[in-house]
Structure 1
Amino acid sequence: MELGSVLHFLQNKTILITGATGFLAKILLEKILRVQPNVKKVYLLLRAADAKSATHRFHNEIIGKDLFRILKEKLGTNFTTFLSEKLTLVPGDISLEDLGLEDSILKEEIYNQTDVIVNLAANTNFDERYDISLGLNTFGIKYIINFAKKCSQLKVLVHVSTAYVCGEGEGLILEKPHQLGHSLNGVNGLDIDVEVKVVRDKLSELQQLGATEEEIKMVMKNLGLTRAKLYGWPNTYVFTKAMGEMLLGQLKENLSVVIVRPAIVTSTFKEPFPGWSEGVRTIDSLAVAYGKGKLTCFLGDLNAIVDAIPADMVVNAILVAIVAHANYPSETIYHVGSSVRRPLIYSNLQEFGFRHFSVKPWINKDGKPIKVSKVMVFSNMDSFRRFMFIRYLLMLKGLELANTALCQYFQGTYLDLKRKIQIVNRLVDLYKPYLFFKGAFDDMNTEKLRVAARQGGVETDLFYFDPKVIDWDDYFLNIHLPGVVKYILK
């Protein structure tokens, strides 16, 4: 593996980033523009009907974020001019052929100039409609590959997947590809074309029955979970992402392809500044609910590994991998996580949350500090369901509903308790595999990349991605949880 200066590589390069409004995509864009202003061009593919809609999304969902404050300060009055010179907004949709590009001149320009494609477009909802998730996470890869093959100058394609395509893996989970048609549980018959037919047939049946949009939505959600579990995956998201990887392996031919599989992505560790985050993401949902005093119980194994990795480390791994694999036809998989080299467990999160919000309590809308206490922990499903049933009986007797482990999902609603319990049970089924996860993600390939970076002239102070440097106490108490309060709880 031959590397060199990442800054030198990025100079005068043209990069296409899909899923440009996503969390990682924004951090990737900011990093490139800040450290290498001599990048030639960055095409940003945004899901939008036209240029006006794309521009609106760009200003509201990307450049208007506090994430770009350092870059704005650095460039001053030249900021707007710089962006207009370096960025081209591309309205499109990866679930369509040619990525939905309707401007033929722009399309040819991208074909002729693009050096690097980073695919970050995805639907990350665990409980999404199957037709939507299949279109984006699986067939979006087919369209990305077809598009990449038309890019005459392309040096490398990076596809960002997820470490959890492994399903409910145990032990050391290797950086190995998913073979086309192979299930996780040994069930035969997994065929991506059949999955498309299953979706079409079900939609046609529902339309003939005159189903409402809400009924169609629920049926398609249930269909995704059913198909995922049939072949051994716990939810629609990771199932469709795994099938996307299968298509990538089948269709890549002579392309140089990198698959980056991050674990649970958290707020920035250092750059552009510590603690930036956006939206209630994964474990942050627990932090938000706990800080607001609404997380009174927790279902999970306190000794289970939480594989967290700061977002800027993921972005740095992507950039170094680009340099390592440019012009070398291959398919390489990188796990980017912490479970092997700097493991973190749920009891750590419990301790960090209690320590932070005890000293710096959240102030509610009435101006009163929220007092937190240690949560009640259920280590198995049976005890949790018994607890929920008892709460249900108490409610029937007129007692006030106590908050449940995932009650943040119900804020501002007036659902009856029975409906709430149904929702909790569904969420528990979706998240249970991660609350009791028994695997650790091997990162042998990623470690080889780190070694090559140190030996090959990479600016490792700028492009750091070794989790060993993380002090979890310091990170959560002084960076991540303050970031959650500042950027999510606000």
Structure 2
Amino acid sequence: MVSIPKYYEGKNVLITGATGFMGKVLLEKLLRSCPTVKAVYVLVRQKAGQAPRARIMDMINCKLFDRLRDEQPGFAEKIVAVSSDLTQPELDLSKEDQDILADCINIVFHCAATIRFNEPLKDAMQLNVLATQKMVALAHRMKQLEVFIHVSTAYANCDRAVIEEVVYPPPVDYKKLIDSLEWMDDKLINLITPKLIGDRPNTYTYTKALAEYLVQQECGNLNVAIVRPSIVGASWKEPFPGWIDNFNGPSGIFIAAGKGILRTMRASNNAVADLVPVDVVINTTLAAAWYSGSQRYTRPKSVLVYNCTTGGINPFHWGEVEYHVISTFKRNPLEQAFRRPNVNLTSNHLINQYWIAVSHKAPAFLYDLYLRITGRPPRMMKTITRLHKAMMVLEYFTSHSWEWNTDNVAMLMSQLCVEDRKIFNFDVRQLHWAEYMENYCMGTKKYVLNEELSGLPAARKHLNKLRNIRYAFNTILVVLIWRVFIARSQMARNIWYFVVSLCFKFLSYFRASSTMKY
């Protein structure tokens, strides 16, 4: 087979969701590593009065595209912004744009979706299922189409312990559900949602499962592949290590931990944290399109599914995540931290609630009280409330482990030539987690919070100040406990003296034992 860059040569590519986290990386990688691609059409809706083309121009001015800008100064000429709204009939495409896409597109990457876990079912269906149905319908009109790639999630079937690289039938007929949601009011939909999603934790995973089945059922003679990434994190290597641009998923939790706001979290230390770098996902996606497109005449017509995960190949656990996040932010602290970084992971609900009250709500209340006294508006309780909502969404994923089959990913890797394995590397066996997590945390500092490394000395000084405040507070607390509870009670004093004398006896015993050995 031809190499991956050679396959994309002269091709017209269509991307949905190009303004999202993964979509940006896909666009950048495609243009940089396949420089002879003819054009990349991106479906973009008007937002806040800004036209689609203007949105794309703003987007490509970010740091993610710096390397591409240096290597190919005129890359923007290949990007064609097409005005579209995936929630509207016929994707809100003009007749002219429909005809253009139908005539010239060779490859489709359907990445657009709502990633809000708690999205109302009707909205999640609109963006994740109905939009996919419209994209498949548009793909059927494309005369030159070679492959249609649908980006799903590895958690679409998280109600199963073992997840194969196959499309599973959903618990309900998606067509009947679409028809029912048209006449149901929001109150009724919210009432039946828990029953519909069953063992799945949210509407996101449920609707992504429906979308997969829809693609399989309605693709007809289209050449289709599905890529299922797990928890997508910062970049591993490309275009540079640690790039991240949002608070979604674990990134917001890492920042909260680094700021000292997050002190406790319900999670299993031994549960596998199936993080996958965004560049690994994009390389897999581009390779999947290459393989299916190159083999479209010889391979049997079936939907290939790729579980793009790390847990079964290079496992990393939530306890290890916590250790590396905290150690990184202690060495390289975030500016204006609220407290010194320290997080307690527990799988026990009652213990977690206790620590939330002691380590989250009580300090937040006292800090807001201080702000009120000093004439400033309180904000910490609102921050804690938002943080708790984010943690509740992630609890299901930080408390469970899954086993994903990755045979198709291994097969895909084996098809790559030596050069393509270097340029489109998705071999997570090479991933060194300690180095990756440090780059990830530093990426949140540099690219999400826009903190310069020159501010590290001041941040370290602030962290030392917080440590001294903590020591002083603990000392005062011990003195108060002594004065209030122990010094005033003979029984308490007797217990105290007994405990102290016992400690001295143990120390004397160990000292004597060590002397005799010497």
1:37 matches 2:31: no
Cα deviation for residue 319 of structure 1 reads: 0.9
Q: Does structure 1 residue 483 correspond to structure 2 residue 443?
A: yes
Shift in Å at residue 356 of structure 1?
A: 0.7
Q: Which residue of 1 aligns with 2:393?
A: 430
Whether contact under 8 Å (1:224, 1:236) holds in the other structure is no
Deviation of residue 336 (structure 1)?
Answer: 0.7
Aligned pairs for 1:388-427 (under 5 A) are 388=356, 427=390
Deviations 1:184-216 (A, max 9, x none): xxxxxx23234334433443x76xxxxxxxxxx
- The correspondence for 1:285, drawn from 238, 246, 252, is 252
Q: TM-score, normalised by structure 2?
A: 0.78
- Does the alignment pair 1:339 with 2:311? yes
Percent identity of paired positions between Structure 1 and Structure 2: 26
Which residue does the alignment assign to 1:73?
Answer: 70
1:83 aligns with 2:62: no
Structure whose residues are more often helix by fraction: 2
Residue 391 of structure 1: how far off its partner (Å):
8.1
The CA distance in 2 between the partners of 1:465 and 1:416, in whole Å, is 42
> Closer, same or farther in 2 for the Cα pair 1:43/1:349, shift >3 Å?
same
Asked whether the equivalents of residues 92 and 99 of structure 1 are also in contact (C-alpha less than 8 Å), the reply is yes
* Larger RCO: 1 or 2 (CA < 8 Å, sep 6+): 1
The whole-number CA distance in structure 2 between the counterparts of 1:399 and 1:75 is 54
Q: Name which of 175, 181, 184 aligns with 2:165.
A: 175
1:340-355 alignment runs, 5 A limit: 340-355=312-327
Task: Map residues 148-163 of structure 1 onto 2, 5 A cutoff.
Answer: 148-163=139-154
Residue 427 and residue 285 in structure 1: after superposition, are their counterparts in 2 closer, same or farther (change >3 A)?
A: closer
Q: 1:136 to 1:414 in 2, by over 3 A?
A: same
Counterpart check, 1:301 vs 2:301: no
Maintained 8 Å contact 2:361/2:381: no
Q: Which residue of 1 aligns with 2:181?
A: 199
Counterpart CA distance in 2 for 1:395 and 1:119 is 45
Residues 114-153 of structure 1 mapped to structure 2, 5 A cutoff: 114-153=105-144
Aligned length: 438
Correspondence for 1:381 among 344, 349, 353: 349
Q: Give the deviation of 1:322 after TM superposition.
A: 0.8
Residues 461 and 391 (structure 1), Cα distance of their counterparts in 2 relative to 1, 3 Å cut: closer
RMSD: 2.9
Q: Indicate the SS of the match to 2:72.
A: helix
Q: Flag structure 1 segments of 5+ consecutive residues without an equivalent.
A: 184-189, 207-218, 403-411
Among 455, 458, 462, the alignment partner of 2:423 is 462
Query: CA distance change for structure 1 residues 116 and 5 in 2, over 3 Å: closer, same or farther?
Result: same
Matched-pair contact (CA < 8 Å) for 1:94–1:100: yes
Of 85, 88, 91, the residue aligned with 1:99 is: 91
Question: Normalized against structure 1, the TM-score is what?
Answer: 0.82
Structure with max Cα Rg: 2
Question: For 1:311-338, what per-residue CA distance to the aligned partner results, in whole angstroms no more than 9, with x for missing partners?
Answer: 1111111111111101253201001111
- Residue in 1 that maps onto 2:61: 64
Q: Give the structure 2 partner of residue 310 of structure 1.
A: 277
Other structure's SS at 1:460 match: helix
Query: 2:12·2:38 contact (CA, 8 Å) conserved in 1?
Result: yes
1:54 is matched with: 52
